[in-house]
Structure 1
Amino acid sequence: MTYHKKPTSKVPWYFAPAYLLFWLVLLFAVVVPVFFSLPTGLTIQNASLNPGRFIAERAERILIDFDKIGPKVVGSHANENHTVQLLLDQLEDIRRVMQTDLFEMEIDVQVVSGAYIHWTMVNMYQGVQNVVVRFRTKASTSESYLLINSHFDSKPGSPGSGDDGAMVVIMLETLRVLATNRRPFRHPIVFLFNGAEENPLQASHGFITQHKWAKNCKALINLDSAGSGNREILFQSGPNHPWLMDIYRKSVKRSYATTFAEEIFQAGILPSDTDFRIFSTYGKLPGLDLAHSYNGYVYHTKFDSASVIPRGTLQTTGDNILAMARAFSNSSELKDPSRHAKGHNVFYDFFGYFVVYYTEATARVLNTCVAVGAVALIGISMYLMAAESYVSLGYIIRLFLRIFLLHLIGWILAFVLPLVMALIFDSADRSLTWFTSKWLIFGLYICPTLLGLSTPTLLYLSISRNDKVSAPFRLQLVDHAHTLILAILCIGLTFMGIRSSYFLMIPLLFHGISLVLNMITTLHKRSYYWSVFVILCQVIPFLYFTYLFHGLLCTIMPMMGRFGSASNPDLYIAIITIMGIMLSMGYLIPLLNIFNRPKLVFLILPVITLVIALTAMSKIGFPYRPKTNVQRVNLLEVRRVFYEFDGTVSRNESGYLFDFQDRRKHLPLAPYVDLEDLYNISDDCDKYMMCGMPIFNHRTTKSRRQAAWLPREVPLQLPGVPRLTLLRKSVNTSTESVRFEFELEGPSHMSIFVQPLEKVTVSGWSFLPDLLRRQPPFHVFFSYGKISTPLKFYIDLKKENSEFDESVMQLGISAHYVSFEHERDEETKKFLATFPPYSYVMEWPSSYERYIF
C-alpha cells in the first residue's frame, strides 16, 4: 500500500515582511520605551503631599551646586576644600531639620594615609579625605551597620556630575528623608562620601582598613557610575549571600539587574573597577554594587554635567536606594551576615517589574531539568512524527541528524559572518562606525547572523523532496535541532560554573511549553499550525533578550571609545549582537520557511547588509560627534631628563605622550593636528625602564607599548619641578647591602620606578614588600590630598660582588600636574587648540627624571 501525504499549503510570501515587521515593531513599541521609561521627578513644591518620599528636585539642586565646582581631582582645592565644605554644609542642613528626639547623627571627616598593591603597582596615598556620617535610631543598641558608599572626586577635566555626583546627592537626599521621617530602624547606617576613588580606590581602602566605624559595617550598598542618566543597574551581588538579593527583590520599586553583567565585570573584560572590590577584599563585606551605565559617551569628560542627567534618573534611583536603606537597616540578617552565606546567586529582572533570583545550586538543577526535559520532548515529538508519517523511528532519527548537522553549520555561519564583517571593517580602518549611528549594527551584524543561521536549512528544505516526511515535519526538526544545541550548551555551561547559562534555559523552557501544547492539541501534525504556539511562546524570550541586550549594547558601545587601541571593538559588539539574536530569534527566524518563496524573503538580508555596509563606509559611519559622542585622547605634555651616574644629562627633551583610547588612534585627528613626527614608543620600551616616559598608573603601565610620542621643539614650561633629594647612602658590610634614603617633594600625583641593574636585587624598601616578589621594574604610585608633606623612603640593594661605588639601579620619578589649577604653557595651549571639535583631550603637564645611582 502506498501512503499519500495530505497536501500542505504555505502562507503567501507577501505576509513574510509583516511577520518580520511584527518583531521590529515589538522591539520599538515595547522594549525601547520600557527601557527608557523614568518616573516623573517629585518637586519641592509637592513634597508635603509625599511624606517620606525621595524628592528629586532637592537632589537636583545640590547636584547643580556640585557641578559648578568643576573638576574635583584629588589634591586640588576644589576636591579637598570646596567639595568637602559643600558636603558638610548639606549635612548640617539635614541636622537642623532632623527628628532629634528619634535619631542621632555623627559626622566625621577622616584624613587618612595608607597603601596597598593594586594590580602591578603599590598604590600609596597620603591625606586623602572621607566625609563619614553615622546615622542611627537613638533607641537602637545594634552594633551592626549598613554601609552606603559613593565618591565625590572626579577625573581631570570632568565635573563628575554623573560619576559620581548623582549618587552623592542621592545619598544626601536619602539621609534627609530618613532623618525627617518618623520611621525608626533597627541598625545604624554609615554614609561614606569618599574623596579618592578615581586615584584609584584609595579613600575606600583608607576607610575600611582604618576608620573607627569600619569594623561594625556588615553589608554594603556601593553606588558608582559608568555613564549619566537612565536607571541604575545592579551588576554585582554578594558574593555568597543570597539574602541580599531577597532584600533587593522585595524593596526596590524598579529593578534592573543581571548575573550576566556581574560575570562580564568580574572577568575583567570592561575597563572599569569600583570600590566594591576594596570593601569585599579588605573588609570582607557582602553587598550590592549599583551604577548608572547609560550614556557612557560623556563619562570622564567635561560633558559629564548636571544638564545631561534627567530628574527622573534621580527619582528612580533615589526611590530604590531609600527603599533598600530602610529594608537593610531593619533586616535580621544584618546582625550576623556570615550565618546566611550560602553560595552565589543567579539573578535577573524582567522589564524592571520583578526580579528572579535563586542560588547557583538551584540553577544547576533547574537548567539540567529544563534541558533534559526539552530533549525528552523532542524525542517524543519524533516518535509521534514517525507514527504519523508511517516510517520507522530510525528513519526520523537519521533525517534529524542530517538536519542537525546542517543547523550546526548554520550556527557556525551565524558567528563567522558577523565576525568576518568586523575584521573587514577593522582592516579598512573603519572600526567604530556604529559608535554614534547605533542602527548600523542592524545591517553589519544582525542580518549576517540571521542569514548565517538560516541558510543551510533553508537550502535543504527548498531542494529536498522527501515524500515520506512532510515539509512541516521537516521544519519541526529544524526547531528540534536548535533545541538540542541549546540543551547541550546549557548543560555544559552550567557545569562549567557559568551562571549566565540561564540564558539558554529560558528559550528552552518556553519552547518546551510550545511542544507540550502542540502535542495536547495535536496541532503538531496539522500542517504549519504548530508554528502558532512556537511564536506565542517565544514572545516572552524575545522581549526579555532584546530588552537585556539592548541595555547591554547601550552600555558597551560607549565603552568601546575608551577600550584602548590594541583590540578590535567591532569584534566585541559583533559577539554581543550574535548572542542577542541567537537567543531572541533562534526559534523564530527558521519559521520564514512557512511562507511561499522563502529564498526570496531571505534575499532581503544580504541586500540590507550590503546597503548598510556601504552606508557605514560613508560620512554617516564616522564615529564621532561634538559634545555627545567624542573621541577620547589622553595626552601628557612631557619634559623628560635622563641623568647618568656621574650627574651628566644624556637626554633632555619635550614632547606629547599620546595614550589613544580607541581603535582609530590618531587617524581622525590627522586632518586637524600636525602629527607628522608622531611615532610609537614600543622600541623605547625595549631600551628604557618604563619606556623612558612618565607612565601614570596601572592602566597606562599596561597599555604603554601602544602609546605614541610627538616631539616638540619648544621646551615645556612646567608648573613646578619635583625635587628628589638623596638624604643618605649607607653601606652595610655585614649584610653586603646598600641603603639609599630619599626625600621626594612634588605635585599631588607622582610615581617612582625602580629597576635594579644586572646582578643587583632589591632586598627591601620602605614600601609594601610583597611587590618585590614580582619582576622589576617596580612601580610605586603616590598621591596626596590634604597633606602635602614630602615623601621619605628608602631602598635596600644587594650586589653579588658587594661593589657599591658603581651604579646599582635606575630610579625614575614621574610627576603629574593633573589639576586645572596648574597653568599650561602657551605652546601647549596652541597645540590643544588645533584638535577637532569632536575630540575630548584629557591632558596635563608632566615630567620624568631618570637617575642612575
Structure 2
Amino acid sequence: MWQAIRSRFDSCQNKISDEPIEGDVRSASCKKRVLKQEQNFRGPWYLASGFLLFWALLFFAVVLPLFYRLPKGLTIEDSPKGAFIAERAQNHLYGFDEIGTKVVGSDGNENKTVDYLLGLVAEIRASCLDEYFDVEVDLQVVSGSYIHWTMVNRYQGVQNIVIKMSPKNTTSESYLLVNSHFDSKPTSRSAGDAGQMIVAILEVFRVMCTTKQTIRHTIIFLLNGAEENPLQASHGFITQHKWAPYCKALINLDAAGGGGSDIVFQSGPNSPWLVEYYKKSAKHPLATTMAEEIFQTGILPSDTDFGIFVKYGNLIGLDIAQFINGYFYHTKYDRFANIPRGSIQSTGDNLLSLVRALANATELDNTAAYATGHAIFFDFLGLYFISYTESNGTILNYSVAGIALVLIFVSIWRTANISCVSTGYVLSWFILISVLQIIAFVLGFGLPVAVAYVFDKYGLSLTYFSTPGLLIGLYICPSLLGLSLPSYIYLKLQRNFKVPFAQQLQLVLHGHAAILAILGIGLTVYGLRSTYVVTWTLIFYVIPLSINLLTTLHDRGFSWTGVLKIFQVIPFLYNSYLIYTFVVTLIPMMGRFGRSTNPDLIISALNALGTVLALGFLIPLVNMFRRPSMILLSLLAISSVTIYTATSTQIGFPYRPRTNVQRLPYLQVRRIFYEFDGTVVKDDSGYLFNFQDRRGPAPLKSSKVNLTGLVSIAADCDKVMMCGYPLYDHRWVKNRMQIMWLPREEPIVPPNVPVLQLLEKTDLGNNIMRYSFICEKPSDHTSVYILPQEDVTISNWTLPLEYIAQQTTYHLYYSRGTDYSPLTFSIDFWKQDADFVVPVTQIGLATHSIGDDGDAISQEFAKLLPSYAALVQWPALYQRYIF
C-alpha cells in the first residue's frame, strides 16, 4: 500500500513539474480539477438538515426510551419464588404515605411511623426460616452530638429500627449494613424520600429470610428515623449501637426524587471491588464516576448518611439514590401517586441482587486488604456496565491520547502525499485549523453561557424549569453554532487548492481530536477520574481513523466519513445519555440552589459540554453538503424563536402548580431582645423568607399578597449576632445574606415560649467562670447562638471541644425525638481581668414550632400566595439574651 502511495506521489510530482506554478497556487488545470472534484463530492444542501435530523431522532428513539425504561412490577400472584415483589412493597408504601408528615419529634415520626414499621417487621419475622437464620430486632433510642458543617448538631432521643439477620452457626464477624431513613421534611409525606427505599429494604429482608439459601455474613437492615435533621440517627447508630463495630460495608439508599431507576453516585472509598460486585449483580445498572466527583465537590444542595458512616464508622460502600422527577422532593407533593410500581421493582431487583452478592463476599472479612484505590465506572444506556481501576484508567487515558496524536500526524503525512505537497505545508495548515478549533471550543461553551448571563441579568433565569425543551434553542443550538462557525468560515474563505476539500475537512476533525487528546492528558494529570468521558469519546474517533488509514478510504474524497459516522453512533448515544441524566437531575435542583448563584450558568455549561462531546465530531460534517450556511441560519433561527418564546410567553415562566413548584419556605417570626438587666429593647413580628431560587421574591409581586416593606436582612447581619433572626439550621445560616424580612404590625403569639435561664455561675479559678444554662420545654427544633464579648474567650464547654474557635458566632442546633428532658449546657469563659459582673456573652434562642399553621392572620397571608408556591412555614420565636 505504501509503495502505491509513493508511486502515486512521484507521478504527481512529475505532473506538477511540467505545469507552470505561480507562487503557492496550482496550475489552472489542477485548480479546475480540484473544484470539479469538490462539486462532485459535496451533497445537496437539503441533505444537511436530514443529517442533523438523524441524530436528533436517534436521541428520541433510543436514548429517551432506554433512560426511562422500567421493569414490569411483579405482583404477589404471578411472582417467582425468591424474587422481589413490587406489589407488596407498594402496598406497604401506601400505608407509609397515609401516616402523613414525619418530622423528627412529631407524633407522625416518633410514634405512628415507628409503630407501623415495627408491625411490618414483626410480620416478616414471623415468616422467616428459623432453621436458616437468626433474626433480632432492636429499637434504638439514642442521643449525641457532632460537628456538622458550621454547627454543633445535637440530637436527643432519636430512633432507629435495627434488624439483624444472621445465618445459622456463622463464624463471620463482618456485617453488611443496608440503610435508609423514614423521617421527612416539614409538609412532606416522604413517599419518595425515602419511603420507597424503606419498603424496598423490608421486601428484601422478607425475601432473604424466607428463602432457603446460604449466606456468609450477617446483614443489618437499618431503618433510621432522623436523616433529614440532618444525619443524626445514622451518627447515633454508627457511634453507639452494639452491632455497629461489626459493620464493614454499606449500601446506603436515599432519594432526591422518584419514579425511575436508581443511580450509584458514590462508591468506596478506595474499594473498587464493590463496583465489581455491582457490575455483576445489578439487573438495571445506572452509575457514573462523574456523578460521584460532582457530588463530592459539595456544590449540590444535598447530603446523605453515606458520609456519616464513612467518617465515623470507617465504612466502605455504595451510595444509591432515586433522582428522576426531583420537582416534588421535600414538598407536600412527595406522595404515593408519584412512585410507579416499576420504579420500586427496579430498585428492589438491584438491591436484592446486590445484598445477596455482598452477603457472600469474601472481601468483607478483611476490607483493608482490598483497599486498592478508586474505581472508574459507568453504564452504557442501562444495557452494559463498564468499570476498571483508576490506575488502569490513567494508562488508558494517556494511551488513547498518545495514539490519537500519532494517528493525526500519520494522517497529515498521508494527506501531504496525496496532495503533492510537503508534510510541513499540511502541518502548517493543521496548526491554523487547530487554533480555529480552539476558538470553536470557546464559542461552543461561551455562546450558551452568554445567553444564560443575559437572561439572568434581566431577571429571566430558570425559563426552562417547567419546559426543558427550551434548552434546545437556548443552549444547544448556540453551542452548535459556536462549534461550527470557525470551520465554516475557514472552509468558505480559504483558497488552498493544493489540499483537497475533503482532506481539509478531515483536518478540522483532527483539530477537534487533538484538543480532546490534550485535554484528556491535562485532566488525567489533574487527577480527574471523569476524564474517562473524554477518553471514550476519543476512542471512537481513533478507531475509524485507523480503519481509514489502513485502507484507501482516507484518500478517496469524503469516503472516510462513512466509517466515522458509523462509529460516532456510540459516543453520541452515550454522551447524550450521560448529560441528559445530569440535566434531569440538576434542573429540579436549580429550584433550591439559592439566590446567590445563577443556575443558568450551570445548566448552560452542562448542555454545552454535552453538545461538544456528543456532536463535536459530527457538526463540522455539514460542510460536506452545499450551502452549509443554511444550517447555521437554521440554528440561529431556532435560537431566536426559542428566546422569544421564553421571554415573551407563559411558556418561559418557571413555575406550575403541583408539578413544577416554587419552593417557598418562610417563618412567622416574633423577636424579643433582652438587655443585660432583663429589659426588653426590641419586640417585633414579621415573616422571614428564605427564597430558594434565583428569582427570589420577583414572581410573587404579581400575586395578591402585599409585599410592601420586604427588605434584605443583610444589613442587620453586620450589626447584631447572627442577623438577629431565628435562622432555622446551617443552610439558613449559610444563606443569611439572601434572606428577606417582611414586617407585620400585629404581634405573632408563638405556641411555645421557652425561657433560657442561667442556673449558676461557678468560679473555676485562673480567670475562668463556668456558666450553666437550662432551657425548659424547648421546641423539638431549636437553635442556640453564642457570641462572647470581644475580651472574652471560651476555654471549655459541654459541646464538642474541637468546635471551640472554629466560628465567630457559635451555632448549636438541637432537636429531640422521644426524649423531652430540658436542654442543658455549660460554658467556661475566660477573661483577663476576671470581671464577670459585666456582660460576658450574647446568646440567641431560636425555637421552631414545626407543624403549626400559626394564627388566623398568618393563615390568611398564606392563602394569598400563588398556587404554584409550595409553602413550608411555621411560627418561630427568637429571644436574644445578654449574660
Do both share a fold (TM > 0.5)? yes
Matched, 1:553 2:583: yes
Kindly report which structure 2 residues correspond to 1:124-523, keeping only aligned pairs within 5 A, or say none: 124-523=154-553
State the structure with more CA Rg.
Answer: 2
Residue aligning to 1:21: 53
Give, as a single letter, the amino acid of the residue that structure 2 aligns with 1:445. Y
Partner Cα distance (1:627, 1:87) in 2: 29
Deviations 1:764-819 (A, max 9, x none): 1111111112132100111110101002211111122222111111011110111x
Gapped regions of structure 1 (runs ≥ 5): none
Are 1:731 and 1:804, in contact at CA under 8 Å, matched by a contact in 2? no
Residue aligning to 1:807: 839
Partner Cα distance (1:190, 1:692) in 2: 45
How far does residue 730 in structure 1 lie from its aligned partner after superposition? Answer: 2.6
- Look up the SS of the partner of 1:127 in the other structure: strand
Give, as a single letter, the amino acid of the residue that structure 1 aligns with 2:751. P
Q: Which aligned segments of 4 or more residues in structure 1 are displaced greater than 6 angstroms?
A: none
Residue aligning to 1:604: 634
Are 1:636 and 1:846, in contact at CA under 8 Å, matched by a contact in 2? yes
**Superposed CA RMSD:** 0.9
Kindly report which structure 2 residues correspond to 1:662-741, keeping only aligned pairs within 5 A, or say none: 662-672=693-703, 673-732=705-764, 734-741=765-772
Residue aligning to 1:629: 660
Q: State the TM-score, normalizing by the size of structure 2.
A: 0.95
Matched, 1:595 2:625: yes
Partner Cα distance (2:96, 2:115) in 1: 11
Give, as a single letter, the amino acid of the residue that structure 2 aligns with 1:187. H
Are 2:853 and 2:859, in contact at CA under 8 Å, matched by a contact in 1? no
Partner Cα distance (1:639, 1:683) in 2: 19
How far does residue 823 in structure 1 lie from its aligned partner after superposition? Answer: 4.8
Deviations 1:133-153 (A, max 9, x none): 000111322111000000000
Are 2:791 and 2:832, in contact at CA under 8 Å, matched by a contact in 1? yes
Please point out which of 77, 86, 101 is paired with 1:56: 86
Deviations 1:198-226 (A, max 9, x none): 00000000000000000000100000001
- Look up the SS of the partner of 1:603 in the other structure: helix
How far does residue 723 in structure 1 lie from its aligned partner after superposition? Answer: 2.1
Partner Cα distance (1:436, 1:116) in 2: 39
Partner Cα distance (2:659, 2:214) in 1: 44
Residue aligning to 1:569: 599
Are 1:446 and 1:577, in contact at CA under 8 Å, matched by a contact in 2? yes
Give, as a single letter, the amino acid of the residue that structure 1 aligns with 2:68. F
Partner Cα distance (1:228, 1:70) in 2: 18
How far does residue 184 in structure 1 lie from its aligned partner after superposition? Answer: 2.1
Are 1:153 and 1:198, in contact at CA under 8 Å, matched by a contact in 2? yes
Are 2:248 and 2:316, in contact at CA under 8 Å, matched by a contact in 1? yes
Partner Cα distance (1:607, 1:375) in 2: 37
Partner Cα distance (2:853, 2:257) in 1: 29
Give, as a single letter, the amino acid of the residue that structure 2 aligns with 1:767. L
Aligned length: 848
Deviations 1:587-635 (A, max 9, x none): 0000000000111221111111100000001211000000010000110
Partner Cα distance (2:386, 2:752) in 1: 56
Residue aligning to 2:4: none
How far does residue 522 in structure 1 lie from its aligned partner after superposition? Answer: 1.1
Residue aligning to 2:148: 118
Residue aligning to 1:795: 827
How far does residue 14 in structure 1 lie from its aligned partner after superposition? Answer: 0.9
Residue aligning to 1:661: 692
Are 1:406 and 1:456, in contact at CA under 8 Å, matched by a contact in 2? yes
Are 1:637 and 1:655, in contact at CA under 8 Å, matched by a contact in 2? yes
Are 1:680 and 1:706, in contact at CA under 8 Å, matched by a contact in 2? yes
Residue aligning to 1:36: 68
Partner Cα distance (2:360, 2:630) in 1: 63
Give, as a single letter, the amino acid of the residue that structure 2 aligns with 1:794. S
Are 1:719 and 1:823, in contact at CA under 8 Å, matched by a contact in 2? no
Distance 1:187 1:39, change over 3 A: same
Partner Cα distance (1:278, 1:88) in 2: 25
Partner Cα distance (2:716, 2:795) in 1: 28
Q: State the TM-score, normalizing by the size of structure 1.
A: 0.99
Are 2:150 and 2:807, in contact at CA under 8 Å, matched by a contact in 1? no
Give, as a single letter, the amino acid of the residue that structure 1 aligns with 2:50. A
Gapped regions of structure 2 (runs ≥ 5): 1-17, 20-25
Give, as a single letter, the amino acid of the residue that structure 2 aligns with 1:89. G
Matched, 1:89 2:119: yes
Are 2:853 and 2:873, in contact at CA under 8 Å, matched by a contact in 1? no
Deviations 1:112-170 (A, max 9, x none): 01111001011011110000000011132211100000000000010000000000000
- Look up the SS of the partner of 2:726 in the other structure: coil
Are 2:162 and 2:221, in contact at CA under 8 Å, matched by a contact in 1? yes
- Look up the SS of the partner of 1:775 in the other structure: coil
How far does residue 524 in structure 1 lie from its aligned partner after superposition? Answer: 1.1
Give, as a single letter, the amino acid of the residue that structure 2 aligns with 1:29. A
Give, as a single letter, the amino acid of the residue that structure 2 aligns with 1:527. G
Deviations 1:291-335 (A, max 9, x none): 000000000000000100010000011000000000000111111
- Look up the SS of the partner of 2:864 in the other structure: coil
Give, as a single letter, the amino acid of the residue that structure 2 aligns with 1:632. R
Partner Cα distance (1:419, 1:790) in 2: 53
Are 2:89 and 2:200, in contact at CA under 8 Å, matched by a contact in 1? yes
Give, as a single letter, the amino acid of the residue that structure 1 aligns with 2:846. S
